[in-house]
Structure 1
Amino acid sequence: MDFGFSEDQQLIRQTVRTYAEAEILPHYQRWDRTGEWLTQDFIDKLVNMGLLRLRLPEKYGGQGYSFVDCGIVCEEIGRCDHQIRYIISNAIHLGEMASSMHPDLQEEWIPRIAKGEMMSLAFTEPGGGADAGNIRTKAVKEGDYYILNGEKTSITFTGVSKVVFVSARTGGPGPRGLSFFLVPTDTPGVKTTNFERMGQRLDRGGSFFFDDVKIPARNMIGKENEGFIWAMTIIGYNRNFVPLACIGAAQKSIDETVEYVKTRQVMGRSVSKWQGVANELATEATKLEAARMLCYRALSLNDRGLRHDAESSMAKWWGVKVANEALYTCMRLHGHYGWAKDLPFEQRLRDCLGMESADGPREVHLGIIARDLLGKEHAPF
């Protein structure tokens, strides 16, 4: 059992960290304050780093990253702005779906996403998110087309994405009646709205509305009524990317706070020499390291083709929770400065708090873990 990273993985970490601290971190607070969108120059640099080709097919420049490798990227990007992680993880999702896309769709959309055009994934609906089997959006087949009607909400990059991947009901009730479709956002009948949130202003969260949207049957990803498989595949590994990005933000805050308490003087000595302060930082560092290992273990299981449902749920709910606790501690240890918008702690906390609901809230994940422990017949659901 090896708990270390290879030399190549250490190089990935250092390369991405250097890039993120030079090209992402300087813009982090400004994006939040102004709500401005990414410049083309920024997107071009993201593309040139190869961060949108981590798991694309080789013919499109894919780099053959493992899921553990991708997790390292997500953690390092999260140190500087985990909203940029959405762009990278969406491209990873595209790579997973590529082999089940119609060849014409591959040729059209994979190069476009690899060059920095935005895409959205639309699972969540007003009536439920984690309950993917209760999807109400419908796609009715008419000849060589499907007619799509419904609403998706809390979707990233609403209004700026060029294509959205939509789960819709094509069969009977429950998870086995779902299919997955590629829908260009300029298709007649597609509308969007954005809403203001406490954090994550950059990701343009909002809703998609589909009103008699006519899409070719070839736009289906995979086979009819197998969309739930895609949803669970993507959500399964993404439940580790989400906490890793939050852990990255928390670790960056710990690193900054360590330097601060070494130099801040109180009653003639540095704050770090007060045992209460030192113990708090040591506690948060321990929790972060444990959460980090949960995430990478689950991703390693995924790389080996092994089940990781419970492990990913442990990583998701616990990783985000302890990251937010560490962020709050760092903000508090900076005293009144910590609450100021001049420092990044309050923004990081606002951005990461919403991740407690992303890809399922803690109650859902505790249920998944309980089902693994107790067996389905004895678990709550």
Structure 2
Amino acid sequence: MTRTIFDTEELDSIRDLARKFAQERVAPGYQKRENDGQMDMALVREMGELGLIAPELPEEFGGMGADFLYSGVIIEEIARADFTFAYVSLLASLNGQILNAFAKPEVARDWLPGLVSGEHMLAIALTEPKGGSDAANLGLRMERDGDHYVINGEKTSISANQCAKGVVTFARTGRPEDGARGVSAVLVPLDLPGITTSKFSNMGQNQIGHGSIWFDNVRVPAEYLLGDEGKGFVQVMQGFDFSRSLIGLQCLGTARQSLDETWAYIGERRAFGKPLAAFQGVTHQLADFDTKVEAARLMSMNALWLKDRGLPHTAEAAMTKWWPPLLAYEAIHACLLIHGHAGYAQDLPFQQRLRDVLGLQIGDGTAHIMKNIIALERAGKDAVRA
């Protein structure tokens, strides 16, 4: 791994630990877990025991109170071994930040230690069948009834909806015309009566799984509300800048592994009496992608560095969400082709990586939405929305 200006001795140490765990424990079962379509919770617990889940959370919840960059290097290393297993890091850091910032103290104490230790996972439910990229246009209703909220409606395309213990859910508590200002967030335990789930048959990421969640008069204790009523969307969505930066490194970790394997391959594979590395048509293509992956990696780490210092990073995070998923797909595709039919076969992991990274050109905000965010930050809301 190329060193960067962000690296420190402490960061190197956590990267070495994550790499050892990823290569020795995670990598061997990558395609089997994907074919089985099951998250290995015992492996998740191993990851938690090593302190590799949400290290940025406070020590009182089992975290290390570390910089956000720590989670960046962890997800990068895990994704080198198994792109989809890296969702453990992504979902824990995103939901951990939400609960740490907005949950009632007693709720945070009940849920965060288990998240950090790997005893359970949390999902996040924002997308709806009719909403898609129009994230604030929610139809799921949540109404106060005494000391409970009652939820009715459907969420869809939810990651980890069948292996999670609870789900951070966005629901409308105000009028439809209130838009984002009428949306609240609440933590919903998935074992409550009235909840049913389904799992999609996707072309990738089946280990974490995606599906729908239906809420039929689900009663959630009012103390599980996250943030202020009617302000959950505005408050909680700020945490997505963090997860977008992690997604960038998740995709780039998988791309880097593919490039490293392919550089080694072209030094060994011979054609016309020479190694493939002697042909510029091969090496220049890899050099091009290697350059872009390193540039995108610096950009992604810079977004986390800015967050660590409390500096604005919304545009930078949006950049890391739209470009690295596309770049990773293109780089892995090139690596697959260079390996010829062996790359196309299921014996090598390129085909699985290609299917897995493609999903993040869709989920968690499309490239078009990310570019809209960048435009808002750079040109200003008044100019863009004129």
Please list the CA deviations of residues 287-322 of structure 1 after superposition, one character each: whole Å capped at 9, or x if unmatched.
101111111111111111122121111111111111
Of residues 345-354 and 359-368 in structure 1, the stretch that sits farther from structure 2 once superposed is: 359-368
| Residue aligning to 1:285 | 290
TM-score by length of 1: 0.95
| Residue aligning to 2:94 | 93
Of residues 54-63 and 244-253 in structure 1, the stretch that sits farther from structure 2 once superposed is: 54-63
Of 322, 330, 333 in structure 2, the residue corresponding to residue 325 of structure 1 is 330
Aligned-residue Cα RMSD (Å) equals: 1.6
| Residue aligning to 1:146 | 149
User: AA paired with 2:173?
Assistant: T
Of residues 17-26 and 58-67 in structure 1, the stretch that sits farther from structure 2 once superposed is: 58-67
Counterpart contact for 1:147–1:214, Cα < 8 Å: yes
For residues 82 and 161 of structure 2, what CA distance do their matches in structure 1 show? 19
Counterpart contact for 1:75–1:247, Cα < 8 Å: yes
Of 183, 208, 228 in structure 1, the residue corresponding to residue 213 of structure 2 is 208
| Residue aligning to 1:275 | 280
| Residue aligning to 2:312 | 307
User: AA paired with 2:338?
Assistant: L
Of 131, 134, 137 in structure 1, the residue corresponding to residue 137 of structure 2 is 134
Please list the CA deviations of residues 257-289 of structure 1 after superposition, one character each: whole Å capped at 9, or x if unmatched.
011000000001000010111100100001101
| Residue aligning to 1:256 | 261
Counterpart contact for 1:56–1:94, Cα < 8 Å: no
Counterpart contact for 1:32–1:201, Cα < 8 Å: yes
The percent identity for this pair of structures is 39
User: AA paired with 1:219?
Assistant: Y
Q: How does 1:1-381 map to 2 (within 5 A)?
A: 3-38=5-40, 40=42, 42-96=43-97, 97-115=99-117, 116-172=119-175, 173-379=178-384
Identify if the C-alpha distance between structure 1 residues 100 and 364 changes in structure 2 by more than 3 Å, giving closer, same or farther. closer
Residues matched between the structures, number: 379
Give the match's secondary structure for 1:153: strand
For residues 374 and 39 of structure 1, what CA distance do their matches in structure 2 show? 45
Identify if the C-alpha distance between structure 1 residues 314 and 26 changes in structure 2 by more than 3 Å, giving closer, same or farther. same
Give the match's secondary structure for 1:187: coil
Of residues 19-28 and 289-298 in structure 1, the stretch that sits farther from structure 2 once superposed is: 289-298
User: AA paired with 2:187?
Assistant: L
Please list the CA deviations of residues 125-172 of structure 1 after superposition, one character each: whole Å capped at 9, or x if unmatched.
112233222121111111211111111111111222111110111123
Shift of 1:86: 1.6
For residues 308 and 36 of structure 1, what CA distance do their matches in structure 2 show? 35
Of residues 202-211 and 367-376 in structure 1, the stretch that sits farther from structure 2 once superposed is: 367-376
For residues 362 and 165 of structure 1, what CA distance do their matches in structure 2 show? 24
Counterpart contact for 2:37–2:208, Cα < 8 Å: no
Give the match's secondary structure for 1:197: coil
For residues 376 and 227 of structure 2, what CA distance do their matches in structure 1 show? 29
For residues 186 and 164 of structure 1, what CA distance do their matches in structure 2 show? 10
Identify if the C-alpha distance between structure 1 residues 229 and 196 changes in structure 2 by more than 3 Å, giving closer, same or farther. same
For residues 110 and 292 of structure 2, what CA distance do their matches in structure 1 show? 44
Segments of 5+ residues of structure 2 without an aligned counterpart are none
For residues 291 and 380 of structure 1, what CA distance do their matches in structure 2 show? 29
Give the match's secondary structure for 1:194: coil
Identify if the C-alpha distance between structure 1 residues 30 and 190 changes in structure 2 by more than 3 Å, giving closer, same or farther. same
Identify if the C-alpha distance between structure 1 residues 100 and 370 changes in structure 2 by more than 3 Å, giving closer, same or farther. closer
For residues 57 and 242 of structure 2, what CA distance do their matches in structure 1 show? 16
For residues 90 and 250 of structure 1, what CA distance do their matches in structure 2 show? 21
Of residues 20-29 and 129-138 in structure 1, the stretch that sits farther from structure 2 once superposed is: 129-138
**After the TM superposition, which parts of structure 1 deviate over 3 Å for at least 4 consecutive aligned residues?**
none
Segments of 5+ residues of structure 1 without an aligned counterpart are none
User: AA paired with 1:85?
Assistant: A
Shift of 1:53: 4.3
For residues 154 and 10 of structure 1, what CA distance do their matches in structure 2 show? 35
Of residues 287-296 and 29-38 in structure 1, the stretch that sits farther from structure 2 once superposed is: 29-38
Identify if the C-alpha distance between structure 1 residues 119 and 212 changes in structure 2 by more than 3 Å, giving closer, same or farther. same
